Amino acid sequence: MVLITVLTPGINQPLFFLRGAASTYACGVHQNGLLCHLHWGNSIAPNASLAGRLDKDVLAFSPEHRRPQPAVGKSGHDVLSYEYPVANTGDFREPALDILHADGTHGLRLLYSAHRVIAGKPALTGLPATYAETAAEAETLEIDLRDARESSAGGGLIVTLSYTVFAGRDVIVRSTRITNHGTAPVTLTRALSASVDLPGNRFDLLTLPGAWARERWVERGPLRSGTQFTGSRRGASSHQDHPFFALLAPTAGETQGEVRGFSLVYSGNHQGGAEVDQMFNTRALLGIHPDGFTWHLAPGETFQTPEVVLAYSQAGLGGLSAQYHRLYRERLVRGVWRDRERPILINNWEATYFDFTADKLAAIAKSAGAIGVELFVLDDGWFGRRNDDTSSLGDWFTDAAKLPAGLGDVGHRIQAEGLRFGLWFEPEMISTESDLYRAHPDWCLHIPGRARTEGRNQLVLDFSRPEVVDAVYAMVAKILREAPIGYVKWDMNRHLTEVGSASLPAERQGEVFHRHILGVYAFAERLVTEFPEILVEGCSGGGGRYDPGMLYYTPQVWCSDNTDAIARLRIQHGTSIVYPPCTMGAHVSAVPNHQLHRTTPLRTRGHVALAGQFGFELDLIDLDATDLAEAKDLTALAKRTRHLLRSGDHHRLLDPNTGNVAAWMLVAPDQGEAMVTAVLALAEPNWRLQPLRLRGLDPKALYRGVHGPAGEWTGDVLMELGLPLTALKQDFQSCLWHLRRV
């Protein structure tokens, strides 16, 4: 790592070099006082003469900037490469920041004022963030930029850009703080987390759009002139638009080529993407979506943006994913479950939906315990009077009609079968048919005089109000303190509408989206602090809030409500671009599949679920003897291989988007062990699959197949000639090898 500042000759302005394992991020102060971007890419040695590169020629129709006093140099505003571009200065490209001043005018001009270097990485108040465990792991550079407006006319804003570089990694974590040191309030109308101006436009933009039950499909295409943004205005990171994008060299592939990633550690509205300007240069930006966002900043107040994790690789998308996987697994996920092997679970949702009794749950747990499952999760329908999705959200007390002996009794019966007990909650929601709504009809997000739009028959609680968060937390925590609960599934099943809060004044209504998310994080922080031993799995109609923000509190996320093994291939492939497999909940469900009505072999469903945190989502009592034996074998295999999930390197071998076979592998950090999986979607006539070339092995080592097709192969043979795929002949067949160094 190591961050070096050098002073440019003559004008004594600093240049900053943040050095990753094999990359450098550099910026510096232009002679005009503006902070400009210099480089983000392969390693370069710090060099003061590079200051000259901050300058750009003036263009026709590009307003010039001269430093107010003394007037030195000039540069076209619309061509400079800025570190943090602002509105209404003559840079007509997409800004990162805009401010409405008390006098009704917009914009600002930021000049370098100071910087400091901090050992380690300071936490972000109220927000999830990557972290350093020791001061030696990371260094943080903070650069203060000052609005050049005279203070008598409403100046006084300080914008602090924060950059953390981690030892041994190629990531730079950026965020921004805006502090009002003036005497009048201002309103932020846009405050993105980071912006990077890159030379040239020869990039492909990769995004992960989707929908419910089809999350994070990979899309890739060349940048065009103008803006290309993706974003969510739903109040959640969402199934539809993911808070991540990458810019790839057009020739970059899975294992080679230059790739830059942008990942926002946030669970609410977001906007990200790129603008190609008139000189064919590219500006990439990411942060809170400006639509629906304003923030009233009174004198003395500070606004903190969420952080963006910038990752760089010369080794293609696979190299980029490796950067994200390692960082998110080791320094975003936290708590005792970060380093523990996770329990193999069974969830009753698709087995019973709302229709269950304590006896039925105990029977499912008994059959699961018999094949080695370790955790039983009671899903939706145990609370209030909830027999369908029309009621009871907000009434977090046990449904005495359905479970007359109480939740504690259910928990103890599950434990008697040798399993731990887990429970489903949807804390942010309220049904109009609930005691909570009857008592507090103004506790939901709403706008007076407007109809309240429902989604899945429910409204969203106003988590911008601390008293609402407190009340829901009290109910949830009471259940967790009283019943023997070791796991929580935290769901969130609709997006936000009529976003207004009964508790905020008019000038702060634009803050509700973000304050709501801060309330969600406050709830999560209390939960993991009071119940550190409880494993929390995130969920939002499947993978609708699978984002780095939630991963800070929930070490795993239910990847999708779509449990069809073949559909999951694309979903899990796209998810793996950013997220390590240890964060991905993946279960074996019944056939015909409940979402797609497709029938696939149990083994294939198992092999696909073994790509993530393995579990079941069906009634094992319905399985015949052969399938039950298979389920038992799969459970044992999951236990033998789950350490690879915790610490192994993941490689995407064959892409289900571009062929009819998907394949991936996990390799132990010491290369002594690997798990390789291949799944055939549709077979073709008179056609042989090419052998599957592996990656990441020790070329000289001899590997033996200890599960799957038998054989012994050297690492070089496996990587150069590949594993034969002769076993894959029919639709939906799969093959899994567990390899061990001999």
Report the catalytic residues: 491, 561
**Cα dihedral sign, 365-368-372-378:** negative
Q: Which is nearer to ligand GLA, 193 or 458 (CB)?
A: 458
What binding mask, one character per residue, do residues 558-577 give for ligand GLA by CB under 6 A, x or -?
A: x--x----------------
Least distance in Å: CB of 450 to ligand GLA?
27
In three-state secondary structure terms, 419 is coil
> Looking at beta carbons, which pairs linking 399-404 to residues 24 or more positions away fall under 8 Å?
402/356, 402/357, 403/357, 403/358, 404/358
Least distance in Å: CB of 679 to ligand GLA?
23
CA-wise closest residue to 519 among 448, 453, 455, 470: 470
Least distance in Å: CB of 166 to ligand GLA?
33
Which listed residue (542, 548, 555, 656) binds ligand GLA by CB under 6 A? Answer: 542
What binding mask, one character per residue, do residues 435-474 give for ligand GLA by CB under 6 A, x or -?
A: ----------------------------------------
Task: Report the phi/psi class of residue 568: left, alpha or beta, with left for phi > 0 and alpha for psi in -120 to 50.
Answer: alpha
CB closest to ligand GLA, residue no: 380
Stretch that binds ligand GLA, among 302-310, 332-340, 539-547, 582-590 (CB under 6 A): 539-547
Does 493 help bind ligand GLA (rule: CB under 6 A)? yes
How far apart (Å, rounded) are the C-alpha atoms in residues 101 and 324? 39
Which listed residue (163, 262, 349, 737) binds ligand GLA by CB under 6 A? Answer: 349
Q: How far is CA 200 from CA 24, 84, 280, in A?
A: 18, 18, 5
How far apart (Å, rounded) are the C-alpha atoms in residues 329 and 391? 37
Does 424 help bind ligand GLA (rule: CB under 6 A)? yes
The count of residues interacting with ligand GLA (CB under 6 A) is 11
Does 295 help bind ligand GLA (rule: CB under 6 A)? no
Q: How far is CA 732 from CA 326, 607, 662, 680, 723, in A?
A: 31, 11, 11, 5, 19
In three-state secondary structure terms, 724 is coil
Which listed residue (78, 399, 491, 537) binds ligand GLA by CB under 6 A? Answer: 491
Q: Which is nearer to ligand GLA, 349 or 552 (CB)?
A: 349
Cβ-contact 383, 414 below 8 angstroms: no
Cβ-contact 190, 270 below 8 angstroms: no
Does 254 help bind ligand GLA (rule: CB under 6 A)? no
Does 634 help bind ligand GLA (rule: CB under 6 A)? no
Does 661 help bind ligand GLA (rule: CB under 6 A)? no
Q: Which is nearer to ligand GLA, 192 or 492 (CB)?
A: 492
User: Which DSSP helix (H) or strand (E) runs through 488?
Assistant: strand 485-490
Stretch that binds ligand GLA, among 135-143, 223-231, 535-543, 588-596 (CB under 6 A): 535-543
**Interaction residues for ligand GLA, span 354-393 (CB under 6 A):** 379-380
Q: Which is nearer to ligand GLA, 62 or 589 (CB)?
A: 589
Q: Which is nearer to ligand GLA, 77 or 489 (CB)?
A: 489
CA-wise closest residue to 537 among 439, 636, 650, 614: 614
Stretch that binds ligand GLA, among 144-152, 299-307, 538-546, 667-675 (CB under 6 A): 538-546
Stretch that binds ligand GLA, among 274-282, 469-477, 536-544, 662-670 (CB under 6 A): 536-544
Stretch that binds ligand GLA, among 217-225, 356-364, 537-545, 623-631 (CB under 6 A): 537-545
Q: Which is nearer to ligand GLA, 318 or 538 (CB)?
A: 538
Least distance in Å: CB of 595 to ligand GLA?
11
**Cα dihedral sign, 667-672-675-676:** positive
Least distance in Å: CB of 464 to ligand GLA?
24
How far apart (Å, rounded) are the C-alpha atoms in residues 604 and 610? 10
Other CB atoms within 10 A of residue 540 CB: 28
Stretch that binds ligand GLA, among 284-292, 534-542, 581-589, 642-650 (CB under 6 A): 534-542
Beta strand pairing call for 613-617 and 584-589: parallel
Least distance in Å: CB of 389 to ligand GLA?
6
Full strand arrangement of the beta sheet holding 649-654: 649-654, 661-667, 673-680, 734-741, 702-707, 712-714
**Token pair belonging to 694:** 């592996």
Distance of CA 273 to the CA centre of its chain: 16
Binding site for ligand GLA (CB under 6 A): 349, 379-380, 424, 491, 493, 539, 541-542, 558, 561
